[in-house]
Amino acid sequence: MNAALQKAAAAGVTVFADAGDGGSSNCAGWPMAESNPLAGQASVGFPSSSPWVVSVGGTQLNVTRNADGSGTVNAERVWNEEVKGNASLRIGGGGGKSIVFDAPTWQQGVVPGSTSAAARSLPDVALMAGTPYWSGGGNDLGYWYGTSAATPYTAASWLVVLSSLEASGLPSPGFLAPVLYELQRTGGAGVLRDITEGTNDIWGKVGCCAAAPGYDEGSGLGSLQFDALATALGNPTARLAATPASGPVPLTATFDASASTTPGGAITTYAWDDDGNGTIDATTTTPTHAVTVSATGTVKVSVTITTSLGRTSVASASATGVEPAPTTTVVPAPAAAPVIAAPRLAG
């Protein structure tokens, strides 16, 4: 099955898998009694542990009911609660480290301690799975019923994002997991609400996994904000200016694309067309590039910026070479001949 998941990811298809409802001792099953012999053993489940899925954990929302019937989210924490009507049983979002799969490259440098020799950590993200939540069917708070509900909610919301991108003429970014970690690596762009409260250690016997700033195995990268995700996957905006824009030939102009912006990820390369013929003459990782205008006339230079999410944008600017000012040679006037006074003769 993992081979099929890998093929799907390579084809740009994102498979979402729930991290389970057994907390950081997921293989103990759920709901879980404190007396369960596996309650103190760290474990995660498959296929959520596969590096070729987006693993979805659980959160709980603290919601205030408004007078107009809407709800306001005040806080979000890792999902971990007792079963309604039975305090001897608990349930919570799965998470921890795989003993089968290594950390994928996109987790390295984002997940604390994650290297090529480290284990795959999960979940990747977490969404509402526990109580309280705002019930769309009435005015009462109730149960959300686990990561098996949070996961299809995540998948459906991702389809809405893809539809939005398609309507804007933008292609799918492909398998979502590397995209999410790249967004986290480059500042987040408001896509991930960091969960810093709670733990999925259901009975406190495992020693894992508490929420913390950044990635943690209780909530992954955090709670996805899908409107911000759609914005972050938009195209960057390239901007280019030439300094000086004109001057006598030979003119060396500096073309500067540092005012370019991107809604998500980071600008990684600048590809330069020095004469407007459609051929890339140089590629740099810095936003400035010098071009020499050797003959009189205007040279149009274009830059294509590419982001770490694979999005591109093009901008152009021109520099004009003019004839040098004529050279004037000043010839000094000849010195005047000295005047010699004639002597007076007596007579």
Tell me: do 105 and 161 sit in the same domain: yes
Is the pLDDT score of 218 beyond 90? yes
The b/e string for 64-80 (b: 16+ C-beta within 10 A; e otherwise) is eeeeeeebeeeebbbbb
Q: What's the confidence (pLDDT) of residue 135?
A: 46
Domain harbouring 163, CATH code:
3.40.50.200
Task: Indicate the DSSP class of residue 22.
Answer: B
Domain harbouring 306, CATH code:
2.60.40.10
Mean pLDDT of 99-112: 95
Tell me: do 261 and 291 sit in the same domain: yes
Is the pLDDT score of 249 beyond 50? yes
User: What does the DSSP assignment read for 311-345?
Assistant: -EEEEEEEEEEEPPPPP-PPPPPPPPPPP-PPPP-
- Residues 318, 291: contact at Cβ < 8 Å? no
Tell me: do 194 and 307 sit in the same domain: no
123: containing domain: 2-232
Is the pLDDT score of 168 beyond 90? yes
Q: How far is CA 272 from CA 250, 252, 285, in A?
A: 20, 15, 11
pLDDT tens-digit map of 47-93: 999 999 999 999 998 877 788 877 788 889 999 998 888 899 999 99
Residue 336 binned pLDDT confidence (cut-offs 50, 70, 90) = low
Does residue 114 or residue 20 have the better pLDDT? 20
Cα 27 to Cα 101: distance, rounded to the nearest angstrom: 16
Is the pLDDT score of 327 beyond 90? no
- Report the mean per-residue pLDDT for the chain: 92
3 state SS of 309: coil
Q: Which residues pair with 305 in a beta bridge?
A: 270, 313
CB neighbour list of residue 59: distance below 8 Å, 6 or more residues apart: 76, 77, 78, 79, 93, 126, 127, 128, 129, 130, 150, 195, 219, 223
Tell me: do 73 and 163 sit in the same domain: yes
Q: What's the confidence (pLDDT) of residue 343?
A: 63
Tell me: do 177 and 261 sit in the same domain: no
Question: Kind and range of the H or E element at 124?
Answer: none
Q: How many domains does the chain have?
A: 2
Tell me: do 168 and 263 sit in the same domain: no
CB neighbour list of residue 92: distance below 8 Å, 6 or more residues apart: 21, 22, 23, 58, 78, 79, 80, 81, 130, 200, 202
Q: What's the confidence (pLDDT) of residue 105?
A: 96
Tell me: do 297 and 200 sit in the same domain: no
Strand ranges in 79-190 using DSSP code E only, listed in sequence order: 80-83, 86-92, 96-102, 119-122, 125-128
Domain annotation covers residue 347: no
Is the pLDDT score of 289 beyond 60? yes
Tell me: do 86 and 150 sit in the same domain: yes
* pTM score of the predicted model: 0.87
